[in-house]
Amino acid sequence: MPNVGVVGIQWGDEGKGKIIDMLSNYADVIVRFQGGANAGHTIVVGDKKVILHLLPSGVLHDKKYCIIANGVVLDPEVFEKEVQELKNLGYLKDDKRLMVSSLTHIIMPYHKKLDALKEAKGTTKKIGTTGRGIGPAYEDKVSRMGIRVIDLLDKKTFTEKVKQNLELKNFIIKKYYKDEGFKTRDITKAYGAYRPVLKKYATDTAHFLHTSIEQGKKILFEGAQGTYLDVDHGTYPFVTSSNTVSGNIATGSGVPPTSINYILGICKAYTTRVGEGPFPTELNDETGERLRASGGEFGATTGRPRRCGWFDAVIVKRALKINGITGLALMKLDVLDEFDTIKICNKYKIGGRYYDRPPVSIADYERCEPQYEEMEGWKTTIRDVKKYDDLPVNAKKYLARIEELIGVKIAIISVGPDRESTLVLENPFLK
Ligand code: GDP
Ligand code: IMO
Ligand code: MG
């Protein structure tokens, strides 16, 4: 298939970075279409680990084009730093291969401050955000006060927009939050320094993608976060501020929905979540601790310990429908190697009734009791397994049961963080 979308199926951190890096081998263009530096996508190459927050996970491959599209909110400070770090590591040699949409909205210093102040104040529920200014930046985009890359590139427009914004932002910061405001001059000076670097990469990325499609190039769309962090379909208000589902690939990058041929869902063999909000299969016990330790479940962006629990077929099944998943990549199967028994949640009990789809209200999420079936573990190390046939019988049974419950085929099985520990049953680009 020429164009493939990759999205998170749970609450993020499913292992998207690893799979996108792997699939980049088969793509010509890799596109980030939503979110910002709240993402933390880990790629392991040999004994090196690279964590990307903003740049597409295809950047470790020469001869590929990487795009930050219009749906992303871009922090210029993170952008400059990440570009420089990658160059220092010997990547990103050709500047023409990285592009940023001129329409991409910019994260401003007041966005980060407002993100932190809102979380600290406690008037609204604490979300446990990454503190990267994501929510306030998307708020400004939707309220038509946002500042885009194209605005930053023009000194006069940028100064005017900062001035207009600060009138309101300073009022809120000073009067409501009783904190220190910003000066236009300080911001225009600091952000003026990013003008040359952004000028180098800014372009009409939608046009580039249209031309690439016409030329039959292969495009890989890289989702960030996960379906249950989606602002519409997630566990609202405990979500991020963008649409993380496959439907946003089109709006977030300017390609028509009809140009996307395969949607690959990325899903852990168990479940994790960072930040606040409902999590039906969460284990606040020794088993949860074991999953965290075995899976190295600490946030790639904030370092926070991730909450851990068993595989939840109820949320996964729903996410597959929302995203129109063609195939699933089941990640971190090796993390379950040492467990005697492994549980799968196959339905919820809420107020004496059973459900095989997630509730709509947060209150119902809070009182839902996950119902489990138990399977025998395989108690062997599977990291070195290279073929599906060589997996232990009980691991195969676990995969088969998951497929049966969710009704979608498992296309990729990941048994370790590195590129080699990947069993590809169906390559989306070669289908
Ligand atoms: P992303 O945000 O979806 O890209 O995922 P993260 O990078 O935040 O978190 C996934 C973590 O799991 C990273 O540390 C990866 O290196 C690691 N990882 C990915 N696949 C596997 C796997 O199959 N097994 C193990 N043990 N670790 C994996
Ligand atoms: P990747 O792409 C996991 C969570 C935060 C918080 C909520 C809102 O690595 O999977 P935000 O800063 O976006 O306003 O925070 O969303 N969150 C993530 N959790 N993985 C991510 O990205 C996340 N990006 C945001 O922890 O609960
Ligand atoms: Mg992550």
For 24-41, the pLDDT digits (tens) are 999 999 999 999 999 999
Please check whether residue 107 is in contact with residue 68, taking contact to mean a CB–CB distance below 8 angstroms.
Answer: no
Tell the residue nearest (CA) to atom 26 of ligand 1: 416
Please check whether residue 398 is in contact with residue 342, taking contact to mean a CB–CB distance below 8 angstroms.
Answer: yes
**Ligand with the closest atom to the CA of 268:** 1
Question: What is the pLDDT at residue 301?
Answer: 83
The number of the ligand 1 atom at minimal distance from the alpha carbon of 335 is 26
Question: What is the pLDDT at residue 125?
Answer: 84
Query: How many other CB atoms are found less than 10 A from the CB of residue 252?
Result: 23
**Ligand with the closest atom to the CA of 32:** 2
Question: What is the pLDDT at residue 354?
Answer: 98
Distance between CA atoms of 319 and 114, rounded to whole angstroms?
Answer: 31
Total-model pTM:
0.98
Mutation test of ligand 2: which of 139, 229, 233 has the most ligand atoms closer than 8 Å to its C-beta? 229
The number of the ligand 2 atom at minimal distance from the alpha carbon of 229 is 16
Question: What is the pLDDT at residue 173?
Answer: 98
370 phi, psi to nearest 5 deg:
-65, 140
Q: Of the listed 13, 21, 75, 151, which one is catalytic?
A: 13
The number of the ligand 2 atom at minimal distance from the alpha carbon of 35 is 13
226-258 pLDDT per residue, tens:
999 999 999 999 999 999 999 999 999 999 999
Q: 370 in ligand 2 pocket by Cβ < 6 Å? A: no
294-311 pLDDT per residue, tens:
999 998 888 899 999 999
Whether the pLDDT of residue 280 is over 90: the answer is yes
Q: Which two tokens stand for residue 337?
A: 């190697």
88-140 pLDDT per residue, tens:
999 999 999 999 999 999 999 999 999 999 999 988 889 999 999 999 999 99
The stretch 19-25 carries a mean pLDDT of 97
Q: 224 in ligand 2 pocket by Cβ < 6 Å? A: yes
373-431 pLDDT per residue, tens:
999 999 999 999 999 999 999 999 999 999 999 999 999 999 999 999 999 999 999 98
Query: How many other CB atoms are found less than 10 A from the CB of residue 251?
Result: 15
Clarify whether 41 is annotated catalytic: yes
Distance between CA atoms of 40 and 298, rounded to whole angstroms?
Answer: 11
Residues with CB under 5 A from ligand 3 (ion): 13, 40, 300
What is the residue type of 201? Y
What is the residue type of 286? E
Tell the residue nearest (CA) to atom 25 of ligand 2: 38
Tell the residue nearest (CA) to atom 21 of ligand 1: 417
The mean predicted confidence, pLDDT, of the chain is: 97
CA distances from 54 to 75, 80, 152, 258, 287 (A): 8, 10, 18, 26, 33
Distance between CA atoms of 199 and 99, rounded to whole angstroms?
Answer: 10
Percent of the chain with pLDDT over 90: 97
Strands laid side by side in the 219-222 sheet = 202-203, 98-101, 65-68, 29-32, 219-222, 3-8, 262-268, 327-331, 410-414, 422-424
Query: How many other CB atoms are found less than 10 A from the CB of residue 185?
Result: 11
Q: Which residues line ligand 1 (CB under 6 A)?
A: 8, 12-18, 40-42, 44, 296, 300, 331-332, 334-335, 414-417, 421
Q: Which two tokens stand for residue 196?
A: 């040359």
Whether the pLDDT of residue 1 is over 80: the answer is no
The stretch 55-66 carries a mean pLDDT of 96
Distance between CA atoms of 267 and 9, rounded to whole angstroms?
Answer: 5
The number of the ligand 2 atom at minimal distance from the alpha carbon of 275 is 27
Question: What is the pLDDT at residue 417?
Answer: 97
Distance between CA atoms of 330 and 426, rounded to whole angstroms?
Answer: 12
141-198 pLDDT per residue, tens:
999 999 999 999 999 999 999 999 999 999 999 999 999 999 999 999 999 999 999 9
Please check whether residue 43 is in contact with residue 49, taking contact to mean a CB–CB distance below 8 angstroms.
Answer: yes
Please check whether residue 120 is in contact with residue 179, taking contact to mean a CB–CB distance below 8 angstroms.
Answer: no
Q: Of the listed 21, 41, 140, 334, which one is catalytic?
A: 41
48 phi, psi to nearest 5 deg:
-100, 140
Spell out the domains of the chain, with CATH numbers in brackets.
Answer: 4-100+204-263 (3.40.440.10), 105-196 (1.10.300.10), 267-430 (3.90.170.10)
Q: Which two tokens stand for residue 374?
A: 């138990």
Measured in residues, the chain has a length of 431
Q: Which two tokens stand for residue 201?
A: 């990469």
**Residue 82's pLDDT band (cuts 50, 70, 90):** very high
Query: How many other CB atoms are found less than 10 A from the CB of residue 144?
Result: 6
Q: Which two tokens stand for residue 140?
A: 């400004």
Query: Strand 219-222 relative to strand 3-8: parallel, antiparallel, unpaired?
Result: parallel
**Residue 76's pLDDT band (cuts 50, 70, 90):** very high
Distance between CA atoms of 302 and 420, rounded to whole angstroms?
Answer: 27
Tell the residue nearest (CA) to atom 6 of ligand 1: 13
Please check whether residue 13 is in contact with residue 274, taking contact to mean a CB–CB distance below 8 angstroms.
Answer: yes
Query: How many other CB atoms are found less than 10 A from the CB of residue 224?
Result: 30
208 CA distance to ligand 1 middle (Å)? 31
Question: What is the pLDDT at residue 232?
Answer: 98
89 CA distance to ligand 2 middle (Å)? 27
What is the residue type of 235? T
Distance between CA atoms of 263 and 290, rounded to whole angstroms?
Answer: 32
**Residue 56's pLDDT band (cuts 50, 70, 90):** very high
Question: What is the pLDDT at residue 431?
Answer: 87
Residue with tokens 């000073």: 174
